[in-house]
Chains A and B, each alone.
Chain A
C-alpha cells in the first residue's frame, strides 16, 4: 500500500506540473451510449442502473490482450483463477458463475465447472465493454445475478480499412491481430483474426506441473451487414475459437487439452415507423472441450470431453409512444444440450421465455424503468424476474438512482446429471437428478457403507439459485470534468447450491451431491471518480468495500458454535461474531487508480494503472470450516502496470509496456499472476 501511494503521489505531481505548462482546455465528455442495461441505446450518464463502459481507447492504451487483462483493472471486478489457467470474474462479491458474459448481446457458453473462462476472449476488435451491475434477469434470464458484461465488437466504418498488430513479451508470449473492414453503400464486411500463444509459466518449480502449461489459440470473427433500405438491416456474424494446451497431471501423466468453440449470430432489424421497430435474432453456439492423459509408455490413461450446444431464436420489438415513453418486449426460446463424460444421460434443456420493459420519463427529471421476464423450463420451476429502476435529477450536476431486481441461475447440467468417481482417490460426485438411479446401482455393487441422506429427499426439483439485488447510487458530474459516483449495493442470495455428503462408501470415501442450502448476502459500497483534467489527461480511481457473508455461518458464530485454536498445540476457544470474516476469496477492500495521458506533440500516449486488493482467505486453515480472523490469509497486494505508445507517420505505432512493474507474485496462493511481463508492440493501420 505504501509503495503504491508513493508512486501515485510522484506520478500525480509529475502530471500536475506537466499540465500546468499546457493550456488546459476543458472539454465536455463525449456522451457514451450503452445498450446492455435496457437493450435499447441509452446515454450512460442518464441510466438508473449502476453501469460502466470501457472504451476501445482505454483498452488500446493499456495494451490489453485478453478480456481478463482489462476487467481486472475495473472497480469492484476481480478475476479469480480456475484450474489450468482459466479465470472467471467476480462482480459485487458474487462468484463468476453468477455473471452473464455476452458478445454483442448473445451469451457465451462452456462453463464446465461453473466458471466461464474469460481468457478465451481476445480484445483486439472490441468497440467497448459494457458492464451492468446488479441482477438483470428481467432482461437476460439465467446467470444474470451479479450483473452482465457485454462485449461490443467494432462497428463497420466506411471504406477499406484495416490494421495489423503484433505484440511479443515475457514467457515467449506472442499475440497477432488483424482487422479488416470494408464498407460501401449498403454492404459491410469485417474480419478479425487473432493468434495468441505462450510458453506459460511456472510459479512452483518443485513439481512436474507448470502453473500454466504452454498453449496456443486462434480466434476468427467475421461480420457481414447489409442495409436493404433505410428501414431494414441485416447482420450475420460468426466466430470461431480454437485452443490447444499441454495438459500435465503428474510426472508420469501428460497429454493435451483442446477447446473448440463456434457461434453464429443472425440479426434482422426492421423499422416499421417512427414508433415501431422489430428485431429477429437467431443465435447458435457450440463449445467443445476434450482432453487426454497418457502414461509414460504412451498408453492412454484417461480422456474426457464436454460438448455443449445452445440454440436461441428470439424476436423483440420496440414501441416508442413518444419522446418520454417507450417499450421493449421479446419472446424467445433456449434449446441447450450437453454431452459429457461422467454424465448419467445426455440432457436437454428447453426454455421458452418472454419479457417486457417500460422506459419512461414520468417528469423531465424522473426516469423510471420497469421490466419483467418469465422463463419457463422443462427441468425446473418457472422463474419470474421483475426489476424496477429509477433515476431522479436533483440538479444539472447531481442525480440519485436506485434499482431493485430479481436474478436467478438455473441449476447447470453438472449439478443435475453428474456421475463421477475419482479414479485415484475413490470419492463419487452425483448430480441431484442422478442420485435416484445411481445410489441403488452403487448399493447393488456393494459400494455403499451407509446412506446419510435418504433418496426420498431427492424427489423434489433442485431450485434455481436466486437473488434480490438492491442498488442505490448518487452521481455527481461537475462541469470541470470531475465526476463522482457512489453506489451502495446488496445482494440477497437464496437456495445457493452446495455439495454435501449423502452416503459413505465401503472404500472409506464419500458420495457427494448437490443441494439448496446456503443463504448468503454480499453488500458494500462502490465509489468511482474520474477527472478529465485536460483533453489529454484523464485520471480515474475506484474503490469497493465488500462484506460477503453466509447467513448460516453468522448464526453459528452468534450461537457460539465456532471454535479456533491460537496455534497448532493450544486449546480451543470460542469465537465471537466479529471473528467471522465472510466468504472465501472476497477482499474487504479493492481499489484502483489509473492515469491516461496523451502527449500530442510527440504523438505519444501513456498509461499507468494500479490495482490493490486487500487480504482474503482461500480455505479454512484452522479446522472449524469457517473463514475467521484466526485463519491464514492471502496477503493484500498491489499490481502496477505501465504502457507507452508512440505513433509514427500517422499509421504506425510502436508500443512498450511493463505489466506488474514490481514483479509481484504469490506462488502459494495466486496462480493467475505470473510476475513481471515486459512487452513490445507494433501496430500498422491501413
Chain B
C-alpha cells in the first residue's frame, strides 16, 4: 500500500527559452522532483556462495542511475549513483579498488542521515563524503549503511530511518529512501523471494535540480 508508483512530474512554469526579457537575469528555479523507482536491477557475480556460505570475489557491471534523467543510464560519465548487489557507489572520489567499478568523473558524494524522508529538509554539504580507497561514502555491511542483513532468513532489509543524501556529479542534491531490495517490492519476503528475487531496488527520492540549492522543500 505504500508503493507510491505515481510519478510526480513537475511542470516547468516558465522555460528558459521563453525568457525573452534580457533584464531578467535571475532564472526562475526549477521545481523539485519527487519520484519513485521500482525494480532497478543491480545484479552481481560472486558474493556469498549459497552452498558453502563462503564469500567469493564480487564482479559485474554496476547499474548506474541519473537523477536528472530520473532513470537508469548506461552513460559512462552522466551518472550520479550506481548499484551492484547491496553496494551503492557515487560518481565522486576515487575507486575503492573493487572489480568492475565505473570511472568517476563527477563531484558526487553522499552521507546517511537519520529520519523519515520528509524529515530531511535540507542537505548538509559538510557531511558529504566521497568514495575512497578506504571505503565507500555509503558504508557497506549490515547495519552500517542503508541495510540490515538478517542471517536467520537470509534477507536484506532497508534499515528504518536511514535516508541517503547524495550530491550529484554536477553539484545538485537528492535524498533517497530505499524501500525494498526485492523484485516488485513485496510486503513480505518469503524464502523463495529471498533466494530468487533479490537485488531489485525500489526507492523514493526527492531531487533538487537547482545547482547548489540545499533545500528539499
Q: Assess whether A573 is interfacial by the CB under 8 Å rule.
A: yes
Inter-chain contact B189/A572, CB cutoff 8 Å: no
Complex: A333 Cα to B23 Cα, angstroms: 93
Inter-chain contact A622/B160, CB cutoff 8 Å: yes
Inter-chain contact B116/A563, CB cutoff 8 Å: yes
> Beyond A572-B177, A623-B147, A623-B159: 19 further Cβ-contacts under 8 Å?
A561-B114, A562-B161, A563-B114, A563-B116, A564-B160, A566-B2, A568-B157, A568-B186, A568-B187, A569-B179, A569-B186, A571-B116, A572-B158, A572-B162, A573-B116, A574-B115, A622-B157, A623-B158, A624-B161
Query: Range of interface residues on chain A?
Result: 20 to 34
8 contacts between A and B (CB under 8 A): A508-B55, A565-B158, A569-B179, A570-B187, A571-B2, A571-B179, A572-B177, A574-B116
- 0/1 string, B158-171, CB within 8 A of A gives 1: 11111000000000
Inter-chain contact A567/B148, CB cutoff 8 Å: no
Query: A-contacting residues of B (Cβ < 8 Å)?
Result: 1-3, 53, 55, 114-117, 119, 141, 143, 147-148, 150, 152, 157-162, 177, 179-180, 182, 185-189, 202, 204
Given contacts A565-B160, A624-B160, contact A572 B3 (CB under 8 A): no
Complex: A258 Cα to B202 Cα, angstroms: 51
Residue of B nearest to A619 (CB): B152
Chain B residues near A570 (CB-CB < 8 A): 1-2, 179, 187
Complex: A622 Cα to B141 Cα, angstroms: 17
Query: A439: shortest Cβ distance to chain B, in Å?
Result: 19
Inter-chain contact A623/B186, CB cutoff 8 Å: no
Given contacts A561-B114, A623-B148, contact A572 B180 (CB under 8 A): no
Q: Which 4 A-B pairs give the minimum distances between C-beta atoms?
A: A563-B161, A570-B2, A569-B185, A563-B160
- 0/1 string, A566-605, CB within 8 A of B gives 1: 1111111110000000000000000000000000000000
Chain B residues near A568 (CB-CB < 8 A): 157, 180, 182, 185-189
Residue of B nearest to A562 (CB): B161
Chain B residues near A17 (CB-CB < 8 A): none
Q: Assess whether A31 is interfacial by the CB under 8 Å rule.
A: no
Inter-chain contact A567/B160, CB cutoff 8 Å: no
**A572 is contacted by which of B148, B150, B152, B161 (Cβ under 8 Å)?**
B161
Query: B196: shortest Cβ distance to chain A, in Å?
Result: 15
Residue of B nearest to A504 (CB): B141
Complex: A664 Cα to B209 Cα, angstroms: 59
Q: Assess whether A424 is interfacial by the CB under 8 Å rule.
A: yes
Query: B183: shortest Cβ distance to chain A, in Å?
Result: 11
Residue of A nearest to B141 (CB): A508
Which residues of chain A in 277-329 are interfacial with respect to chain B, using CB atoms and an 8 Å cutoff? none
Chain A residues near B116 (CB-CB < 8 A): 563, 571-574
Most chain A beta-carbon contacts within 10 A, residue among B161, B187, B202: B161
Chain A binding surface SS class: loop
Residue of B nearest to A567 (CB): B187
Inter-chain contact B159/A624, CB cutoff 8 Å: yes
Inter-chain contact B157/A623, CB cutoff 8 Å: yes
Q: List the count of A-B residue pairs having beta carbons below 8 Å apart.
A: 74
Query: A140: shortest Cβ distance to chain B, in Å?
Result: 38
Complex: A573 Cα to B161 Cα, angstroms: 7
Query: A506: shortest Cβ distance to chain B, in Å?
Result: 12
- 0/1 string, A544-569, CB within 8 A of B gives 1: 00000000000000000111111111
Complex: A569 Cα to B2 Cα, angstroms: 7
Complex: A573 Cα to B1 Cα, angstroms: 14
Residue of A nearest to B3 (CB): A569
- 0/1 string, A417-447, CB within 8 A of B gives 1: 0000000100000000000000000000000
Residue of A nearest to B1 (CB): A570
Query: A265: shortest Cβ distance to chain B, in Å?
Result: 44
Inter-chain contact B160/A572, CB cutoff 8 Å: yes
Residue of A nearest to B177 (CB): A571
Inter-chain contact A567/B161, CB cutoff 8 Å: no
Complex: A172 Cα to B2 Cα, angstroms: 52
Query: A671: shortest Cβ distance to chain B, in Å?
Result: 14
Residue of B nearest to A624 (CB): B160
Chain B residues near A566 (CB-CB < 8 A): 2
Chain B residues near A574 (CB-CB < 8 A): 115-116, 119, 161
Complex: A566 Cα to B117 Cα, angstroms: 15
Residue of A nearest to B163 (CB): A572
Complex: A518 Cα to B162 Cα, angstroms: 24
Query: A666: shortest Cβ distance to chain B, in Å?
Result: 15
Chain B residues near A622 (CB-CB < 8 A): 157, 160
Complex: A572 Cα to B158 Cα, angstroms: 9
Chain A residues near B3 (CB-CB < 8 A): 569
Chain A residues near B147 (CB-CB < 8 A): 623
Query: B156: shortest Cβ distance to chain A, in Å?
Result: 10
Chain A residues near B177 (CB-CB < 8 A): 571-572
Complex: A564 Cα to B55 Cα, angstroms: 30
Residue of B nearest to A425 (CB): B53
**A571 is contacted by which of B141, B143, B204 (Cβ under 8 Å)?**
B204
Complex: A624 Cα to B148 Cα, angstroms: 9
Inter-chain contact B159/A571, CB cutoff 8 Å: no
Chain B residues near A573 (CB-CB < 8 A): 116
Residue of A nearest to B54 (CB): A424
Most chain B beta-carbon contacts within 10 A, residue among A561, A565, A572, A622: A572
Complex: A622 Cα to B160 Cα, angstroms: 7
Complex: A619 Cα to B157 Cα, angstroms: 15
Query: A191: shortest Cβ distance to chain B, in Å?
Result: 47
Chain A residues near B1 (CB-CB < 8 A): 570
Most chain A beta-carbon contacts within 10 A, residue among B3, B179, B189: B179
Inter-chain contact B187/A569, CB cutoff 8 Å: yes
Complex: A568 Cα to B2 Cα, angstroms: 10
Chain A residues near B158 (CB-CB < 8 A): 565, 572, 623
Inter-chain contact A424/B179, CB cutoff 8 Å: no
Query: B58: shortest Cβ distance to chain A, in Å?
Result: 11
Chain B residues near A619 (CB-CB < 8 A): 152
Chain A residues near B141 (CB-CB < 8 A): 508
Chain A residues near B150 (CB-CB < 8 A): 621
Most chain B beta-carbon contacts within 10 A, residue among A564, A619, A621: A621
Query: B127: shortest Cβ distance to chain A, in Å?
Result: 17
Inter-chain contact A571/B188, CB cutoff 8 Å: no
